[in-house]
Chains A and B, each alone.
Chain A
Amino acid sequence: DAGVTQSPTHLIKTRGQHVTLRCSPISGHKSVSWYQQVLGQGPQFIFQYYEKEERGRGNFPDRFSARQFPNYSSELNVNALLLGDSALYLCASSLGTGNEKLFFGSGTQLSVL
Chain B
Amino acid sequence: GQQVMQIPQYQHVQEGEDFTTYCNSSTTLSNIQWYKQRPGGHPVFLIQLVKSGEVKKQKRLTFQFGEAKKNSSLHITATQTTDVGTYFCAGIQGAQKLVFGQGTRLTINP
Asked if A42 and B42 sit within 8 Å, CB to CB, the answer is no
Query: Most chain-A Cβ atoms within 10 A of its Cβ — which of B6, B43, B44?
Result: B43
Number of B interface residues at 8 Å Cβ cutoff, please give it. Answer: 24
Shortest distance from the beta carbon of A31 to any chain B beta carbon, whole Å: 11
Task: Determine whether the beta carbon of B102 is less than 8 Å from that of A101.
Answer: no
* Interface flag for B88 (CB, 8 Å): yes
Residue B30 CB within 8 A of the other chain: yes
**8 Å CB contact of A48 from B41, B90, B97:** B97
The answer to whether A90 and B103 touch across the interface, beta carbons within 8 angstroms, is: no
Q: Are B42 and A45 in contact (CB under 8 A)?
A: no
Instruction: Find out whether the CB atom of A99 lies under 8 angstroms from the CB atom of B100.
Output: no
By beta carbon, the residue of chain B nearest A107 is: B42
Residues in B lying within 8 Å of A, measured CB to CB: 1, 6, 30-31, 33, 35, 41-45, 48, 50, 88, 90, 92, 96-103
Rank and list the top 3 A-B pairs by shortest CB-CB distance, nearest first: A42-B100, A101-B45, A104-B42
Q: Which residues of A contact B (CB under 8 A)?
A: 33, 35, 40-45, 48, 56, 58-59, 90, 99, 101-107
